[in-house]
Structure 1
Amino acid sequence: MPTNKANKVKFGLKNVHYALLQEGEDGAVTFAAPVRIPGAVNLSMEAQGDTSTFYADNMAYYVTSANDGYSGDLEIAVIPDSFRKDVLMEIEDETDKILVESVTAEPRHFALLFEFNGDQKAVRHVLYNCAATRPGLTGATTNKSKEPATEKISLTASPLANGNVRAKTTPDTPDEKYQGWYQTVWQPAVPGVGG
Structure 2
Amino acid sequence: MKNKVKFNISKVHYALITVTDEGFNFGIPVPMPGAVSISLAPNGEPESFYADGIEYYTISNNMGYDGDLEIALIPESFRTDILKEATDANKVLIENANIETANFALLFEFDGDKRKIRHVMYNCTAARPSLEGQTNEESREVQHESLSLSSRPLPNGLVKARTGNETGIEAYNGWYTQVYLPVEETEGA
Q: TM-score, normalised by structure 1?
A: 0.91
What's the % identity of the aligned pairs?
A: 49
Report deviation, 1:57: 4.2
Number of aligned positions between the proteins = 184
Unmatched tracts of structure 1, length 5 or more: 191-195
Equivalence map 1:74-153=2 (5 Å):
74-94=69-89, 96-153=90-147
CA distance in 2, matches of 1:91, 1:167: 32
Q: Counterpart in 1 of 2:187?
A: none
Q: Counterpart in 2 of 1:35?
A: 30
What's the secondary structure of 2:79's corresponding residue? Answer: helix
2:14 is the counterpart of 1:18 = yes
Q: Counterpart in 1 of 2:179?
A: 185
Deviations 1:162-192 (A, max 9, x none): 00000011121111111110010011135xx
What's the secondary structure of 1:178's corresponding residue? Answer: helix
Q: Counterpart in 2 of 1:73?
A: 68
Report deviation, 1:7: 1.2
Report deviation, 1:30: 1.5
Deviations 1:67-108 (A, max 9, x none): 0000111000000100000000001113x1110111112100
2:19 is the counterpart of 1:6 = no
Report deviation, 1:133: 0.6
What's the secondary structure of 1:83's corresponding residue? Answer: helix
Deviations 1:12-67 (A, max 9, x none): 1000000001121122x211100000100010001011221123344323223200
Deviations 1:138-168 (A, max 9, x none): 0000001111001000010000010000001
2:39 is the counterpart of 1:44 = yes
Q: TM-score, normalised by structure 2?
A: 0.94
CA distance in 2, matches of 1:173, 1:65: 27
Q: Counterpart in 2 of 1:193?
A: none
CA distance in 2, matches of 1:59, 1:118: 44
Computed over aligned residues only, the root mean square deviation of the Cα atoms, in angstroms, reads: 1.1
CA distance in 1, matches of 2:27, 2:52: 52
CA distance in 1, matches of 2:9, 2:183: 28
Q: Counterpart in 2 of 1:174?
A: 168
CA distance in 2, matches of 1:54, 1:104: 42
Residue identity matched to 1:167: A
